[in-house]
Amino acid sequence: MPDGPVHVEGEVVATKRIGGYRHLTLTAPGIPERFRAGSFVALTVDGHVTRRAFWVHRVRALSALGPTLDVVLETRGSGTARLATLPVGAKVAITGPLGRPFALPKDAVSCLLVGEGYAAAPLFPLAERLRERGCSVSLVVSAPDEAHLLSALEARRSARSVTVLTADGSVGLRGTVADHAADLVARSEADVVYAAGPHDVLHAVASAAEAAGAWSQVAIESPTPCGTGLCHGCPLPVVGEDGVDRVVRACTEGPVVRGDRVRWDAL
């Protein structure tokens, strides 16, 4: 099967509200088969010119309806609100998988995965891939409060150790990723650190990883009006391999980039 993205008509086969999020299960012919952890999908919304991008939380190769994928959405505006109200059976145009996924280590190394809010979604399939390769996986799931913690129970199935952080202390450790990043990286003895979340979370994790001598890969979330690289509307300031500052597209040259390559102060 070719690697490139496809644009297909999918169908909502399940829709569930879990905490502060809406989980949609979609058929999307060709996309689950091509998916790799960290890539994303873009959904077309009727009446809206631009599309909405979502992390893929889970793919199921086999179900009664064929391969499906799950996305997690938080209502942010009229587009996401409309998608959140799609009923089972609704048709939706889906493009994916898009973007560069997480790079996997060749050897069985120690990995720390840090996710904040719904953006933790791509870390679950990543944890599975890493475990298949014999990596030791520690997972940190964080959120402002309990309702915005993504799948903490499921996390316990995917990782050797799980740390839960909430800013309000409603469950798990109290505090933010920035408060705990250095300690978490040190305790995990990670060779590779993966992170997905808002920019401040990614920056804190990338800095902690660099200080500890670990590689970091961060999944940058930017507004991506098209998601396909056509519009050049999601500028991401980076430092190239040659040391030269550049602006690349978060949707095609990202969303996953090396944490030490992001010009955080220019974001």
Partner 1 sequence: MSAALPGPVMVAAGCGGTGRELEPYAGPAGLVGLDLVTRSITLDPRPGGPGPRLAEVPGGLVNAVGLPNPGLGHFLATELPWLVRAGVRVHVSIAGATMGEYAELAGRLSTAPGVAGIEVNVGAPDEAGAGVLEVREPYHAASVVAAVRREFPADRPVLAKLRPDVSRIVEGARTCHEAGATAIVVGNAVPAAFADGRPGGLSGPAVAPIALRCVATVRDALPAVPTIGCGGVRDVASARAYLEAGATAVQVGTALLHDPTTVARLRASLAAHPPEETA
Cβ proximity to partner 1: between 103 and 247 the closer is 247
The response to whether 80 counts as a known ligand-binding position is yes
Asked if residue 49 binds partner 1 (CB under 8 A), the reply is: yes
The one segment of 18-26, 49-57, 116-124, 158-166 that binds partner 1 by CB under 8 A: 49-57
80 binds partner 1 (CB under 8 A): no
Among 27, 176, 216, 228, binds partner 1 (CB under 8 A): 228
Q: 66 a known binding residue?
A: no
Phi, psi of 40 (to 5 degrees): -135, 175
Q: Does 29 bind partner 1 (CB under 8 A)?
A: no
Does residue 239 interact with partner 1 by CB under 8 A? no
Q: Does residue 199 interact with partner 1 by CB under 8 A?
A: no
Considering only residues 105, 233, 260, 264, which one is a binding residue for partner 1 as defined by CB under 8 A? 233
111 is in an annotated binding site: no
Range in contact with partner 1 (rule: CB under 8 A) among 20-28, 83-91, 166-174, 221-229: 221-229
Q: Which residue stretch of 58-66, 104-112, 196-204, 222-230 sits at the interface with partner 1 (rule: CB under 8 A)?
A: 222-230
# residues contacting partner 1 (CB under 8 A): 27
* Selected binder of partner 1 within 15, 80, 170, 222 (CB under 8 A): 222
Query: Is 50 labelled as part of a ligand binding site?
Result: no
Question: Could you please report the per-residue DSSP string of the chain?
Answer: ---S-EEEEEEEEEEEEETTEEEEEEE-TTHHHH--BTBEEEE--TT-SS-EEEEEEEEES--TTSSEEEEEE---SHHHHHHHTPPTT-EEEEEEEESB-PPPPSS--EEEEEEEGGGGTTHHHHHHHHHHTT-EEEEEEEESSGGG---HHHHHHH-SEEEEEETT-SSSEES-HHHHHHHHHHHHT-SEEEEEESHHHHHHHHHHHHHHT-EEEEEE----SSSSSSS--SEEEEE-TTS-EEEEETTTT-BEEEGGGB-GGG-
Crossing angle (nearest 10°) for helices 199-212 and 177-188 = 30
- Indicate whether 230 belongs to the interface with partner 1 (CB under 8 A): yes
Instruction: Confirm whether residue 79 is marked as ligand binding.
Output: yes
Stretch that binds partner 1, among 13-21, 126-134, 139-147, 229-237 (CB under 8 A): 229-237
In angstroms, the Cα distances linking 160 to 119, 157, 262 are 20, 8, 29
Nearer to partner 1, 66 or 233 (CB): 233
Question: In degrees rounded to 5, what are phi and psi of residue 7?
Answer: -115, 115
Query: Any known ligand binding at 231?
Result: yes
Contacts with partner 1 by CB under 8 A lie at: 4-7, 44, 48-51, 79, 93, 95, 222-223, 225-226, 228-235, 246-247, 252
